[in-house]
């Protein structure tokens, strides 16, 4: 029995010893990766006829028993499962969401969140596109910059220009030095720019460079898909854009 307890404790400690955060599993399609101080990456898996099974990232920020989502899972069902798990397992009720552009992997669960009284925030460009496409529309809208505090956690939403889409924004957490780049930023394992159906490739590089000039203390960068990392993801994205424009 003592050996079994020792084995279980060792398995629990191994991730921490090697600097790898322990992943919290919600179900087969949803997991949470702790970053720091009750900030998590929410990772959800979906299936696509073109891309197969793929993962998408967002953030969960928990403060004072409340949760802020940065982007939703791609549909209402997964969003409901994530929200109920957060309330049941982490005692955190989702009260606000920021959506970073109009694609499903950002606001696919907005319908469910609106029905449960969650306040949504998005760029005015996103709201305009949502109205045209008859999608749920973010309640609170801004143009270039929105700063607010979520139970003491400063949050900065900013539009730098087009890239993955014409309306993509980023979210900066200055208290944690975490940048959510969303689909504007590519993971280091990405060999290309991905889905370009709504991209503004001519603006993409200058948009990322403006971001880099604005934030000088970035510690963690979370892309819309793939593994998170550091500021090197920004340089990698610029190189991918240059390679696409000049093959």
Q: Where are the alpha helices (DSSP H) in 118-246?
A: 124-133, 201-214, 232-245
Angle at 18 between CA 17 and CA 24, to 5 degrees: 85
Catalytic option among 42, 78, 186, 236: 186
**Catalytic pick among 105, 106, 123, 167:** 105
Active site residue 12: no
- Which candidate in 46, 100, 183, 236 is catalytic? 183
Do the beta carbons of residue 233 and residue 239 sit within 8 Å? Answer: no
Query: At 244, phi and psi to the nearest 5?
Result: -70, -40
Eight-class DSSP state of 180: E
Angle between helix axes 232-245 and 201-214 (nearest 10 degrees) is 160
106 catalytic per annotation = no
Is 105 a residue of the active site?
A: yes
Which candidate in 71, 164, 168, 236 is catalytic?
164
**Active-site annotation holds for 133:** no
Contact (CB, 8 A) for 182 and 170: yes
**93, 195, 227, 244: the active-site residue:** 195
Question: Could you tell me how many residues make up the chain?
Answer: 247
> How far from each other are the two terminal CA atoms of the chain, in whole angstroms?
62
Selecting among 46, 57, 168, 225, the annotated active-site residue is 225
Q: Is 101 a catalytic residue?
A: yes
Q: Is 66 a catalytic residue?
A: no
By the 10 Å C-beta count (0-12 exposed, 13-18 middle, 19+ buried), 5 is classed as: exposed
Catalytic residue among 46, 57, 100, 101: 101
Catalytic residues: 101, 103, 105, 164, 183, 186, 195, 225
């Amino acid at each position: 029995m003592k050996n079994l307890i020792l084995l279980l404790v060792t398995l629990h400690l191994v991730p921490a010893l090697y600097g790898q955060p322990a992943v919290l599993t919600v179900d087969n399609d949803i997991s949470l990766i702790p970053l720091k101080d009750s900030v998590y990456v929410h990772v959800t898996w979906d299936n696509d006829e073109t891309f197969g099974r793929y993962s998408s990232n967002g953030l969960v920020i928990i403060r004072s028993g409340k949760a802020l989502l940065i982007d939703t899972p791609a549909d209402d069902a997964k969003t409901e499962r994530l929200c109920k798990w957060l309330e049941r397992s982490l005692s955190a009720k989702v009260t606000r969401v920021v959506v970073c552009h109009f694609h499903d992997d950002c606001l696919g669960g907005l319908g469910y969140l609106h029905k449960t009284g969650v306040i949504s925030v998005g760029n005015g460009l996103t709201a305009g596109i949502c109205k045209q496409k008859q999608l749920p529309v973010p309640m609170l809208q801004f143009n270039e910059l929105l700063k607010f505090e979520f139970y003491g956690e400063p949050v900065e939403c900013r539009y730098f220009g087009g890239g993955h889409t014409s309306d993509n924004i980023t979210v900066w957490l200055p208290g944690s030095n975490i940048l959510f780049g969303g689909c504007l930023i590519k993971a280091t394992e990405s060999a290309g720019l991905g889905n370009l159906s709504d991209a503004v490739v001519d603006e993409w590089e200058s948009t990322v460079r403006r971001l880099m000039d604005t934030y000088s203390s970035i510690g963690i960068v979370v892309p819309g898909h793939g593994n998170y990392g550091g500021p090197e993801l920004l340089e990698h994205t610029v190189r991918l854009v240059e390679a696409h424009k000049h093959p």
